[in-house]
Amino acid sequence: MKFRALRNLLAAMGLSALVAGCMVGPDFVQPDSHLPEVSFQGDKGQVVPDARLPAPTDPMWWRVFRDPVLMKLEGQVAAANLDVQTATLRLAESRFQRGVAAAALFPSLNGDAKYNRELYSQNGIVSLIAPLAGPGFAITPINEYNTGFDASWEIDLWGKVRRQVEAADASVDQAADQRRDALVSSLAELARDYIQLRGVQTQIKIANDNLKVDRDVLSLTQERQQRGLQNALDVENAAAQVEGVRAQIPQLQQQESEYINALSFLLDEPPGALRSTVGEASVHTGPPRIPLGIPSELARRRPDIRAAEDQLHAVTANIGVAIGDFYPSIQFNGNVGFDSLEISNLYKPSSLQYTFGPSVTLPIFAGGRLRSTLNLRDAQQQEAAITYRKTVLQAWHEVVNALVAHRLEMSRRARLRAQSEHAGAALDLARTRYNDGVTEFLTVLDAERTLLQAEQQYATSTTNVSLDLVQLFKALGGGWETEFPDVPSETAAVPVPVATVDAITIPAAR
């Protein structure tokens, strides 16, 4: 009889396991990014210049600036940056949470051991049977020893737990992509601060060079005044020119210190710690041709798009969890152990006891909670779909805006370089004409101011060209591949067609 009961139980468990192959709720389908397949579009629908380069963007894009100090600093971001470290811990948390969700797929087994010493009340329920026991009946304390194991297992009959694990897996992927996004943002922020530092240092050099020239002019003017060749007005104008240039330097030095501190903060260093490391150098504007990859790759390259897709996947799986709550649940419970009033008899066969059997729970009335939960999950899925679409569209706009800004700033830089060259030639002519007595001294000072402004504007534009390039690389989403690569089985490398790869061609400065 016992064997028949056990056989029936095993048969029921086997049938439940077969039925458990089904999963309620919608299966996740990767959304269409609606990104163009061939080229990014610029203003008025015109295609961005396409160089048909066969290679996609270099993941270590900062190498295009050919700056060894920048490359060294960028190599420290993944390990040192606090935002990346925080994202790494959040990824670990999501993996632990996934382990919690997956544990529900397996039976639980607990061991226990108990000892009780009991004394029943003489005035309690025992008093009802005391007359039946005779006059010699006495209530004395008793000992009870118990040990055994409890087991329970809820069959995932409708795939509810598997949907929970699926949602947890998607959350792990989302945390991984958010860590990649933190790295991309930190890499770009460090590059921006570094380039702005080099730009400020260039401005300081220009100011110091002009200050030296203006001081020489002031000394020469003072000597000429002493010989009666120039008046006091010329001396005062030359002195004002010197002080005006000198006044620019402290503000530039303050900016230099702030950018060095910003770099130190990004690498978890105290203020000023990197001053000796960065030293002084000029700004590199990058190569004349930059491969971009095809637009549709953005959906797999930009971590924020990937994270939005992961979020959509997670909330889609949660719909299945909500639907599973409408169905009955089957749980198998069992207990086996030993129970005895004497410890010497505890592990004898006659002390063995066990219970086992299934239980079924069917939701009948919950005050609308189940329906409201399902409606909530549906709304969350729609919200996640809109967020995904918005993220993709924003990425597309950022790339095009960065392309346009970089192209136009390169054109502006070429014009400013020409302006600087003309301003230098004008200063040479003004000095020659002044020495020949043809023009006034104020003309020379005006020419010097014009040259200083032209050089400063050209230096600022050179910095902006590099900053626009950093913004472009950030918009393209690269930089995480070497530090936090995809699992090979998840995303296989796809060859890039030569005929469909965008690149920008930078006009040469003239």
Tens digits of residue pLDDT in 127-144: 777 676 667 667 788 888
Report which of 419, 425, 444, 448 is spatially closest to residue 433, judged by C-alpha positions: 444
Q: Write down the pLDDT at residue 505.
A: 37
As a whole number, the mean pLDDT across the chain is 84
Q: Are strands 329-340 and 502-505 parallel, antiparallel or unpaired?
A: unpaired
| Residue 470: exposure state from Cβ atoms within 10 A (0-12, 13-18, ≥19) | buried
Q: Is the pLDDT of residue 13 over 70?
A: no
Helix (H, G, I), strand (E, B) or coil at 23: coil
Q: Is the pLDDT of residue 33 over 50?
A: yes
CA distance 314 to 35: 23
Q: Is the pLDDT of residue 16 over 80?
A: no
Q: Is the pLDDT of residue 491 over 70?
A: no
Q: Is the pLDDT of residue 43 over 80?
A: no
In the chain, the amino acid numbered 16 is S
Q: Of 72-86, 208-222, 483-497, give the range with the top mean pLDDT.
A: 72-86
Quickly state the pLDDT bin for 59 (edges 50, 70, 90): confident
Q: Which residue has the higher pLDDT, 4 or 294?
A: 294
CA distance 418 to 406: 19
| Residue 469: exposure state from Cβ atoms within 10 A (0-12, 13-18, ≥19) | buried
The sheet carrying 352-361 orders its strands as 108-118, 142-155, 329-340, 352-361
CA distance 150 to 90: 35
Tens digits of residue pLDDT in 268-282: 999 999 999 998 877
- Average pLDDT score over residue span 394-403: 89
Quickly state the pLDDT bin for 195 (edges 50, 70, 90): very high
Q: Write down the pLDDT at residue 288.
A: 59
287 φ/ψ angles, rounded to the nearest 5 degrees: -75, 165
Whether the CB-CB separation of 91 and 179 falls below 8 Å is answered with yes
Q: Write down the pLDDT at residue 290.
A: 67
Q: Write down the pLDDT at residue 493.
A: 34
Q: Write down the pLDDT at residue 98.
A: 95
CA distance 126 to 129: 6
CA distance 176 to 182: 10
Q: Write down the pLDDT at residue 8.
A: 52
Q: Which residues pair with 289 in a beta bridge?
A: 505
Judged by average pLDDT, the poorest of 12-16, 249-253, 322-326 is 12-16
Quickly state the pLDDT bin for 261 (edges 50, 70, 90): very high
Q: With pLDDT > 90 as the criterion, what percentage of the chain qualifies? A: 55
Quickly state the pLDDT bin for 442 (edges 50, 70, 90): confident
Tens digits of residue pLDDT in 215-236: 998 998 899 889 888 889 989 9
Could you write out the DSSP letters of every residue in 352-406?
A: EEEEEEEEEE-----TTHHHHHHHHHHHHHHHHHHHHHHHHHHHHHHHHHHHHHH
CA distance 280 to 277: 9
Q: Which residue has the higher pLDDT, 18 or 408?
A: 408
Write the CA distances from 201 to 198, 261, 264, 280, 282, integer angstroms. 5, 14, 17, 7, 8
CA distance 212 to 125: 109
CA distance 25 to 405: 46
Tens digits of residue pLDDT in 340-375: 888 888 888 888 998 989 999 999 998 999 999 999
Our CA angle for 149, 153, 155, nearest 5°, is 165
Whether the CB-CB separation of 171 and 316 falls below 8 Å is answered with no
Q: Is the pLDDT of residue 19 over 70?
A: no
Q: Is the pLDDT of residue 503 over 50?
A: no
Output 97-105 pairs: Cβ under 8 A, ≥24 positions apart.
97/168, 97/171, 98/165, 98/168, 98/169, 98/171, 98/172, 100/168, 101/161, 101/164, 101/165, 101/167, 101/168, 102/165, 102/168, 104/154, 104/156, 104/161, 104/164, 105/156, 105/161, 105/162, 105/165
Q: Write down the pLDDT at residue 437.
A: 84
Fold of 21-105+114-120+141-486+493-505: Outer membrane efflux proteins (OEP) (1.20.1600)
Tens digits of residue pLDDT in 204-217: 999 999 999 899 98
CA distance 329 to 58: 52
Our CA angle for 313, 316, 319, nearest 5°, is 155
Could you write out the DSSP letters of every residue in 304-347?
A: HHHHHHHHHHHHHHHHHHHHHTTS-EEEEEEEEEEEESSGGGTT
Quickly state the pLDDT bin for 264 (edges 50, 70, 90): very high
- Average pLDDT score over residue span 239-266: 95
Quickly state the pLDDT bin for 53 (edges 50, 70, 90): very low
Q: Is the pLDDT of residue 502 over 70?
A: no
Report which of 501, 500, 490 is spatially closest to residue 173, judged by C-alpha positions: 490
Quickly state the pLDDT bin for 260 (edges 50, 70, 90): very high
Q: Is the pLDDT of residue 57 over 80?
A: no
505 φ/ψ angles, rounded to the nearest 5 degrees: -110, 120
- Average pLDDT score over residue span 175-184: 95
Tens digits of residue pLDDT in 162-178: 999 999 999 999 999 99
Q: Which residue has the higher pLDDT, 261 or 508?
A: 261
Quickly state the pLDDT bin for 510 (edges 50, 70, 90): very low
Quickly state the pLDDT bin for 39 (edges 50, 70, 90): low
Q: 412-443 b/e with 16+ CB inside 10 Å = b? A: ebbebbebbeebeebbeebbeebeeeebebeb
Quickly state the pLDDT bin for 291 (edges 50, 70, 90): low
Q: With pLDDT > 70 as the criterion, what percentage of the chain qualifies? A: 84
DSSP 482: T
In the chain, the amino acid numbered 352 is L
Q: Write down the pLDDT at residue 40.
A: 61
Our CA angle for 500, 501, 503, nearest 5°, is 140
